Each structure stands twice: as structure tokens, then as C-alpha cells.
């Protein structure tokens, strides 16, 4: 009698056998859900869409590198004048734009912002295309003085009508070159070429010669302090 009462009470508390399947399914779903979320997060985060690659941010002036660099053959350094002296390549002052544009296309609505900037004395505010993390101390000057050209990072800038990020700026990408600069080294005359290929197309011998000439290579290139301070 007593046992019967007890078993009746217990049976009310017991889960039916089907719960086992449910539990397994739940465990499986939790596990696979986490995995899927991680995968989606990882690839989503690193996607071109999220990182803004190949997208041209809005700019106050619809400036075309294709027109100025390829068609008019203006040197990079005309506008980015401090690229070989400073970490910062330099952005042209309004007055630099107006060196030419006080004569040509002065009334173009595309240039209205520059004209207004000159008249009111308020600087143009460009949206940054390449934005490295604040703890990275990238230096343009040391790259362009040592055989690394513009297009290695900025892609086919000569054909870009609106400037866009040609390259995701992960540390692994930086290290790719810092571990083996020969892949990207180029002739001094080609450094500012807007159409040179990103990767070096020189012969192996010439690459070694250039590495020697620029005195680059060595363990210090991958030291943390080279880029982080």
C-alpha cells in the first residue's frame, strides 16, 4: 500500500521517455546554434559589406582619381604632398584645389564646396576611406622611400572614379608584406605609379637587389613596436 502510494507520487514527477529525445534535440540545437552564430558573426564581421570594402563613402566633393591621375597625369604628390616626409600623406588644402580650379570648372556645382570653403575660410571635411585602428602607427614616408608603392595598398587608384577602400586592413595583411617585402617591392620609378600592379612582377634577382638597395628585411619588421607604441 505504502509502496503504491509512493510510486504513484514518483510517477507524477518522472519525465516521460520522450523527453530524452527532446533534451537531445535541445542540446543539439543550442550547440549548433552557437556554432552557426559564431560562423555568421565571423564571416559577417569580416565581410566586405561590413568592413566597407569597395564602398566609396560620401564626400563633400565627388573627386575622381581616375580623371586627375590617369587622364590628366597629375602626380600623387601634388596633392598628397607630405607622403614622403611624414606618417600622414597629407590632404590637399582648399587652396591646392583652387590652383587649377580658380581657372577651370569654377562654376561647376561639383566644386561648390571647395569654392565655399575658400570664401568662408572653413575647411573641407573629407570622410576617411582608410581608417586604421588608433593603436596602429602607420607611416607613409617610410614605405614610399623603401620601394613600396601607392597601389600596393590603395589598389588600382588610377581607375577609381570615386575613391574606395581597395583592401581590408587586417594585421594579417600588413604582416604578409612585413614578413616578405619582396612580394611587393618595386622599382623606385614605379612607386608613385597609379597603375602598377599591387604585387611585384619583378624577377627574383631584381627583388633581392632592391631589398638590398633599400636595406629592408630582417626581424625588426615584424616586431610589435614597429607599428604599435
Partner 1 sequence: MSSMKTWRSLDELAGSRELDTWLRDEFPAGAAWLDHQELGSTEIRRRKFIQLMGASLGLAGLTSCGRQPQEKIVPYVDQPENTVPGVPKYYASAISFRGHARGILVESHSGRPTKIEGNPDHPASLGATDAVAQASVLGLYDPDRSKTVLHHGRISTWDKFDEAHREILQRHASESGAGYGILIEPTSSPTLKRLLGEMLTSYPKAKIYQHSGVAPTAPQPTVNFSKPDLILSIDDDFFTNHPDSLRYIREFTSRRKSGSKLNRLYVIEPTPTLTGAKADHRLAVRPSRIELVVNALTDSSIQLEPHESRFVESLRDDLKKFEGKTLIRIGSHLSPNLKKLRSKSIQGQTPPDTITGFPGLDRLTNDLTGGAIQSLLILGGNPIYNTPGDIPFKNALRFATFTAHLASHEDETSLACEWHLPEAHSLETWGDLLSYDGSPSICQPIIEPLYNGRPAICILKPEKAPYELVRNTWQLLGNYTDLTFDDFWKKSLYQGCASPEALRKASTLPTYTETDESSDYNSSLREDQIDLVIQPHPHIGTGEGANNGWLQELPHPFTKIVWDNAALVSPEFAKSRKLKNGDIVRLNQSIEIPIWILPGQADETVTLHTGYGRIAAGELGNGVGTNVFPLGHAKRISSLSNTGKTGELVTTQHHSMMEGRELYWQIDRNHPTNERPPEVPNITLYQNPAELLNGRYAWAMSIDLSSCIGCNACVTACQAENNIPVVGKEEVARGREMHWIRIDRYFIGENESDPRIVYQPVTCQHCEQAPCEVVCPVEATVHTADGLNAMVYNRCVGTRYCTNNCPYKVRRFNFFDYRIKKGKNDPRSLQANPNVTVRGRGVMEKCSYCVQRIQRAVIQADREQRRVREGEIRTACQQACPSEAIIFGDLRNEMSAVARQRKDNSAYSLLGDLNTRPRTIYLAEQTNRHV
Q: Which of 128, 189, 203, 204 binds partner 1 (CB under 8 A)?
A: 128
Residue 189 interacts with partner 1 (CB under 8 A): yes or no: no
Q: Which of these ranges, 18-26, 77-85, 104-112, 187-195, lies near partner 1 under the rule CB under 8 A?
A: 77-85
CA angle, 118 then 129 then 228, to 5°:
115
Residue 82 interacts with partner 1 (CB under 8 A): yes or no: yes
Q: Hey, which residues between 57 and 76 contact partner 1 (CB under 8 A)?
A: 57
Q: Hey, which residues between 1 and 60 contact partner 1 (CB under 8 A)?
A: 45, 50, 52, 57
Spell out a b/e string for 64-78, using b for 16 or more CB atoms within 10 Å of the CB, else e: bbbebbbeeeeebee
Q: Select from 152, 155, 172, 173 the least CA-distant residue to 163.
A: 155
Helices (H), 145-223: 151-154, 171-179, 204-214
Q: Which of these ranges, 14-22, 154-162, 182-190, 211-219, lies near partner 1 under the rule CB under 8 A?
A: 211-219
Running DSSP on this structure, what letter comes out for residue 145?
Answer: T
Q: Cα–Cα distance between 26 and 19 in angstroms, integer?
A: 10
Binding site for partner 1 (CB under 8 A): 45, 50, 52, 57, 82, 84-88, 90-96, 117-118, 121-128, 131, 133-135, 137, 139, 141-142, 145-146, 214-216, 218-220, 223-226, 228-229
Amino acid at each position: 500500500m505504502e509502496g503504491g502510494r509512493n510510486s504513484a507520487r514518483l510517477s507524477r514527477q518522472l519525465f516521460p521517455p520522450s523527453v530524452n529525445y527532446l533534451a537531445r534535440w535541445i542540446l543539439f540545437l543550442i550547440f549548433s546554434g552557437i556554432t552557426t552564430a559564431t560562423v555568421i558573426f565571423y564571416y559577417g564581421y569580416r565581410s566586405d559589406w561590413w568592413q566597407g570594402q569597395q564602398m566609396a563613402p560620401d564626400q563633400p566633393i565627388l573627386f575622381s582619381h581616375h580623371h586627375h591621375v590617369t587622364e590628366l597625369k597629375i602626380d600623387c604628390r601634388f596633392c598628397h604632398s607630405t607622403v614622403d616626409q611624414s606618417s600622414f600623406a597629407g590632404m590637399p588644402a582648399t587652396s591646392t584645389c583652387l590652383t587649377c580650379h580658380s581657372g577651370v570648372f569654377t562654376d561647376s556645382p561639383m566644386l561648390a564646396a571647395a569654392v565655399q570653403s575658400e570664401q568662408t575660410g572653413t575647411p573641407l571635411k573629407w570622410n576617411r576611406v582608410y581608417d586604421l585602428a588608433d593603436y596602429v602607427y602607420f607611416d607613409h614616408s617610410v614605405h614610399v622611400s623603401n620601394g613600396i608603392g601607392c597601389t600596393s595598398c590603395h589598389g588600382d587608384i588610377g581607375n577609381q572614379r570615386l575613391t574606395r577602400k581597395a583592401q581590408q586592413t587586417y594585421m594579417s595583411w600588413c604582416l604578409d608584406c612585413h614578413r616578405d617585402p619582396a612580394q611587393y617591392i618595386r622599382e623606385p620609378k614605379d612607386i608613385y605609379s597609379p597603375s602598377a600592379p599591387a604585387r611585384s612582377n619583378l624577377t627574383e634577382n631584381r627583388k633581392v637587389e632592391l631589398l638590398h638597395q633599400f636595406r629592408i628585411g630582417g626581424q625588426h619588421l615584424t616586431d610589435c613596436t614597429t607599428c604599435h607604441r
